[in-house]
Amino acid sequence: MACYHIKPPEPSSIRQEVELLKERLQALEEQLGQQRQGDLGTIVARVSELEEFVDKSREQIGQEIKGSYRNISRAWQSIEQLSRRTSQLQEGLRSQLDHLDSVKGRLKIISNRQLELFDADESIEERLEQLESDHDLLLSRGSQHLNVEAEIYPMRTGVPRVSYSRPPTTSHIRTEARSRWDVGGSDGTSFVEAVIRSFDGLLAGRPWMPLQAKLCDAERLQGLPMLRPLSPGLVDDEYDLDFLRKHCGVCEPSGKIESLYIAMRLDNFSWHFLRNSPKFIDGLEDCWVHDPLLDPSNQVEDDHMEEHDRPSAGDIVPRLPHLKRPASEMSQTTYPAPSTTTAGELDDQRCKNRRTTCLPTLVEPRRRLETV
C-alpha cells in the first residue's frame, strides 16, 4: 500500500518575499554587469592613453639619443680640432724656441764683438796715452834692463798685490835691484833660513810669506808675473821645493824656478826705505834717481818724512781718471733756429772741446807694484 506526503501550501507572503529577492538579485547582477563594463572601458581607455604616451616617449627618447649622438660627434670634431691646434701651437713654440736660441747666439756674438770693440777702444786710448806722454825716460831706463838674466831662486820682497804692470818701467827695474842668492837645500827649513839670513836687515824678525805667482798669458802682458797672497790654508805649510814649484815659483819648462817673490804679512816697505837699503845689483843704481811717478815731488820733504807716514811701495800710482773722456768733453753742437741760421753759420758754431788733461803715461791704470 503506497503512502504519499503532500506538502502543505506556502503562504502568499513568503512567495512575495522570494520574488522580491529574485528581482533584487537580478538588479544587482545587472548593476554589477554595468559596473564591470564601465570599469573595463575605463581601463581600455587608460591603456590606450598609456600606449600613446609610451609611443610619444619613445619618439622623444629616440630624438634625444640622436641629438646626443650628434653632440658627441661635434665634441669629437672639436677635440680633433683642438688636438690639431695644439700640435700647431707646439710646432710654433718649437720654432719660437729655435728662434730665441738663434737670437741668443746672435746676441752673444754681438756681445763678443762689443767686447772686442771695447778692447780696441782701450788699445787706441793706450796708444794716445803713449803719444801724449812726456816721460820718455821710462823707456830709456827700462831698455837697459832687458838683458838681465835670472838665477835659481832669485828672491824679492814685495807687497801682496796682483801685478798688471808691463815692463820695462822704473818700478820694475827697482824690483830687480835687490840682491840675488841661492838656496842650498830643497827642504822648507833651508828655504826659510836662507830668506831670513839674506833679508834679515829688511825683515827684522817680522812675519813674511811667499807670494803665489803666475805668468800672464794675455798678448799685451805676456810673460809678466801676476802675484797674489797665499790662501790662508797654505800660509803655514812647509815651504819646500815641491810646494814652491806648485804654488809660488815662476818655473821654466825644465822645472827650474826662475823667480820667486816674498812679501811681508803685516807690514809694508816704502821706496825711500828700499832706496836706503844696502843690497844692490851693480849697474842698476840709476833706477833710483828721483822719478815723479814713484817718488814724492819734494825730495827734501821725502827725506824728512816719518817712515810710518810714507805710502807703501805698492801704491805707486794714484787713482787716475778714466781713460775715456766724459760726455762733457765730447763734441757739443748747438743748433739755432733754422729760420735765422744758414748751413755755413751752423758749421761755424759747432765746437769740440779739447782735452783738459793729458792721458796717463806708460803706467797703466790698474798697475800695482808686484815686488819691491
Co-location of 243 and 155 in the same domain: yes
Q: Is residue 250 part of a domain?
A: yes
Co-location of 128 and 148 in the same domain: no
Co-location of 106 and 174 in the same domain: no
Co-location of 114 and 191 in the same domain: no
Predicted confidence at residue 149, as pLDDT, reads: 34
The residue segments making up the domain with residue 119 are 95-132
178 vs 100, higher pLDDT: 100
Q: Tell me: the pLDDT tens digits for 236-257?
A: 888 888 898 888 888 887 878 8
Q: Is residue 100 part of a domain?
A: yes
Tally of domains in the chain: 2
Co-location of 217 and 274 in the same domain: yes
End residue of a domain, out of 110, 132, 154: 132
Q: Is residue 349 part of a domain?
A: no
Q: Is residue 172 part of a domain?
A: yes
Co-location of 125 and 244 in the same domain: no
pLDDT band at 100 (very low <50, low <70, confident <90, very high): very high
Highest-confidence segment of 132-136, 274-278, 362-366 = 274-278
End residue of a domain, out of 282, 309, 336: 309
Q: Is residue 154 part of a domain?
A: yes
C-alpha cell at 94: 718649437
Q: Is residue 319 part of a domain?
A: no
Co-location of 294 and 156 in the same domain: yes
**Global confidence as pTM:** 0.37
Co-location of 197 and 100 in the same domain: no
Instruction: Indicate if the pLDDT at residue 71 is higher than 60.
Output: yes
Q: Is residue 360 part of a domain?
A: no
Co-location of 265 and 156 in the same domain: yes
Q: Tell me: the pLDDT tens digits for 174-208?
A: 555 445 566 777 888 888 888 888 877 778 888 88
Co-location of 168 and 109 in the same domain: no
215 vs 359, higher pLDDT: 215
pLDDT band at 16 (very low <50, low <70, confident <90, very high): confident
Do residues 214 and 226 make contact, with C-beta atoms less than 8 angstroms apart? yes
End residue of a domain, out of 289, 309, 329: 309
265 vs 101, higher pLDDT: 101
Q: Is residue 235 part of a domain?
A: yes
Instruction: Indicate if the pLDDT at residue 46 is higher than 70.
Output: yes
Co-location of 114 and 181 in the same domain: no
Residue range 303-314: mean pLDDT, rounded: 59
Co-location of 99 and 144 in the same domain: no
